[in-house]
């Protein structure tokens, strides 16, 4: 009270400004204004009455709140306030308090409002205290626990992995069993999750599983190309958690725990003989889990999903994502790339360049610097070529002048047998360029074994009727080229034998 009296004296006797009074008394300027406002509201002036002591002055300036029952002052509905905060990202506690005071003029002050809301919120389950915008995040992970599946034929037991996905705002949960955590199962689980939700969130938050993240990094994690391709198809962003930071994915950690307690624990006495049978059981239990009421909040996961997340989800694309794997390949001098033993053509201008290859079940696409430069039907015939004529250079010239004539000229330097074999190999293909890779490999065997041995091996291969690289390599590896060619005739049949009719039989 002594400082308040000093403020009143300096204002009414000395005529100082509020800023000067604040500097003199060591208090803030708004505090000075508040003291003067309360004095005016109390009807006091300077000098203060002599019979007004400090206690009486305090009661006049800071009257106690009206002693009304809590029911008359109005206790806020904390559940409704919590719902409003979570459902509207731009809403603040101050605005909600103002609305509360409009309907309850004798209600509590803002500080009491905030304090009691925080106290109420602290008693909620920890998985529900996170602030997640509706339709924003989907947390995904695998449960640590597996479920056994028995093979009816052999009795062998396989451990099925449990994939879990949890929406941030509503805690709506999806779970399914897969055979593994490999990339095809990982992508397939995401596709089925989006179909289950009937929409797509803005963000997917996975752990640093190898199927999703090739290389973990605090700032720029390297996503698996297939995972990134799927995200682009659905229009979602992938935001992996930080390494060894479980709080980044606390939502799905809690979801996994609930799935293990309410679904997997219920399966402990059941036997399953197929993945489909197990997933049918999981779907039944999952429906019950999402309909189970919250203990400390009104409603259940399914109701919160319908109210919060579902209206905010993005629509599903017109078609499901087609699983595709990505690989890197370098274009050889025959302007083909080798993928799983088959050779596919690309424009010859990309010889010796590295391209990205996208493989689906039926197609193969090649990309260079983000642009698609070739598309083929996928083939499982190893050692064969799929060539588009438009990819060939005019007159079949390659970068660096790799031509049939150049390969034949190189073979002539080794010997006539090598030349004949190379000519035969080039003429055996519909397009000679398809044999360039094989011919180049044959000629390079001369560097490892010497030109003389290569020449002898080519002569023996011609005698055997084979012009394949592996045949010539086998001859050299087993030193068959050092044997006389006449030994090849030792297997000739005798002229007379009981089981041989002889030429006279046909006369």
Question: Residue 131: what pLDDT?
Answer: 60
Whether 141 and 284 share a structural domain:
yes
pTM beyond cutoff 0.85: no
Whether 146 and 293 share a structural domain:
yes
Question: Residue 399: what pLDDT?
Answer: 42
Neighbours of 339 (CB within 10 A): 18
Residue 500 domain flag: no
Q: Tell me: pLDDT of 229 over 90.
A: no
Question: Residue 262: what pLDDT?
Answer: 81
Question: Residue 395: what pLDDT?
Answer: 54
User: In what helix (H) or strand (E) does residue 312 lie, and over which residues does it extend?
Assistant: helix 310-312
Mean pLDDT over the full length of the chain: 81
Whether 160 and 119 share a structural domain:
no
Whether 190 and 249 share a structural domain:
yes
Residue 496 domain flag: no
Shortest CA distance to 129 belongs to which of 296, 308, 242, 307? 296
DSSP codes, 26-56:
TS-HHHHHHHHHHHHHTT--SSPPTT--HHH
Domain membership of residue 85 as a residue range: 70-123
Whether 183 and 306 share a structural domain:
yes
Residue 456 domain flag: yes
Q: Tell me: pLDDT of 422 over 60.
A: yes
What does the pLDDT look like over 138-153, one tens digit per residue? 888 888 888 899 888 8
User: In what helix (H) or strand (E) does residue 284 lie, and over which residues does it extend?
Assistant: helix 275-291
Domain end point (choices 285, 312, 339): 312
Question: Residue 216: what pLDDT?
Answer: 44
What does the pLDDT look like over 330-383, one tens digit per residue? 999 888 999 989 999 999 889 999 999 999 888 999 999 889 999 999 998 888
Whether 267 and 154 share a structural domain:
yes
Whether 110 and 149 share a structural domain:
no
* Residue corresponding to tokens 């029911």: 71
Alpha carbon separation from 375 to 319, 327, 345, 356, 366 (Å, rounded): 20, 15, 9, 12, 6
Top-confidence residue, 156 or 245: 156
Whether 302 and 339 share a structural domain:
no
pLDDT band, residue 489 (cuts 50/70/90): very low
Question: Residue 354: what pLDDT?
Answer: 93
Q: Tell me: pLDDT of 324 over 50.
A: yes
Whether 241 and 338 share a structural domain:
no
What's the distance, Cα to Cα, between the start and end of the chain in Å? Answer: 143
Count up the domains in the chain and report the number: 5
Top-confidence residue, 209 or 488: 209
Residue 319 domain flag: no
């Amino acid at each position: 009270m002594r400082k308040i009296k000093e403020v009143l004296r300096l204002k009414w006797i000395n005529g100082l400004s509020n800023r000067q009074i604040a500097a003199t008394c060591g208090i803030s300027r708004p505090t000075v204004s508040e003291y003067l406002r309360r004095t005016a509201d109390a009807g006091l002036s300077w000098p203060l009455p002599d019979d007004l002591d400090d206690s009486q002055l305090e009661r006049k300036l800071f009257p106690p709140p009206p002693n009304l029952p809590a029911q008359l002052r109005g206790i806020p509905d904390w559940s409704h306030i919590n719902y409003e905060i979570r459902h509207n990202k731009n809403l603040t506690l101050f605005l909600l308090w103002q609305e509360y005071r409009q309907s309850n003029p004798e209600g509590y002050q803002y500080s009491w409002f905030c304090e009691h809301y925080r106290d109420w919120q602290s008693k909620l389950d920890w998985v529900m205290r996170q602030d997640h915008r509706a339709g924003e995040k989907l947390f995904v992970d695998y449960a640590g626990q597996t479920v056994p599946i028995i093979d009816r034929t052999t009795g062998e037991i396989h451990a099925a992995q449990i994939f879990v996905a949890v929406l941030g705002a509503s805690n709506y949960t999806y779970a399914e069993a897969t055979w593994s955590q490999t990339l095809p199962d990982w992508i397939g689980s995401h596709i089925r999750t989006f179909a289950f939700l009937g929409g797509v969130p803005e963000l997917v938050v996975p752990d640093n599983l190898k199927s999703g993240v090739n290389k973990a990094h605090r700032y720029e994690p390297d996503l698996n190309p297939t995972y990134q391709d799927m995200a682009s198809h659905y229009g979602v962003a992938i935001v992996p958690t930080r390494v060894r930071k479980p709080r980044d994915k606390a939502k799905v950690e809690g979801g996994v725990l609930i799935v293990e307690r309410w679904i997997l624990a219920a399966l402990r006495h059941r036997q399953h003989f197929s993945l489909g049978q197990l997933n049918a059981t999981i779907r039944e239990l999952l429906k019950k889990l999402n309909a189970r009421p919250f203990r400390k909040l009104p409603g259940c996961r399914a109701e919160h999903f319908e109210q919060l997340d579902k209206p905010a989800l993005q629509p599903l694309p017109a078609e499901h994502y087609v699983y595709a794997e990505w690989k890197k390949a370098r274009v050889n001098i025959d302007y083909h790339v080798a993928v799983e033993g088959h050779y596919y053509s690309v424009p010859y201008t990309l010889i010796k360049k590295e391209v990205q290859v996208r493989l689906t079940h039926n197609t193969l696409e090649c990309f260079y610097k983000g642009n698609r430069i070739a598309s083929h039907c996928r083939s499982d015939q190893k050692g064969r070529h799929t060539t588009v004529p438009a990819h060939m250079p005019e007159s079949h010239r390659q970068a660096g002048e790799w031509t049939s004539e150049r390969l034949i000229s190189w073979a002539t330097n080794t010997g006539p047998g090598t030349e004949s074999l190379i000519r035969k190999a080039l003429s055996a293909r519909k397009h000679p360029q398809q044999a360039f890779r094989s011919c180049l490999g044959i000629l390079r065997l001369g560097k490892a074994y010497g030109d003389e041995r290569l020449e002898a091996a080519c002569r023996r291969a011609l005698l055997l009727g084979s012009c394949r690289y592996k045949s010539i390599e086998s001859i050299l590896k087993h030193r068959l080229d050092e044997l006389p060619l006449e030994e090849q005739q030792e297997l000739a049949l005798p002229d007379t034998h009981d089981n041989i009719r002889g030429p006279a039989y046909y006369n």
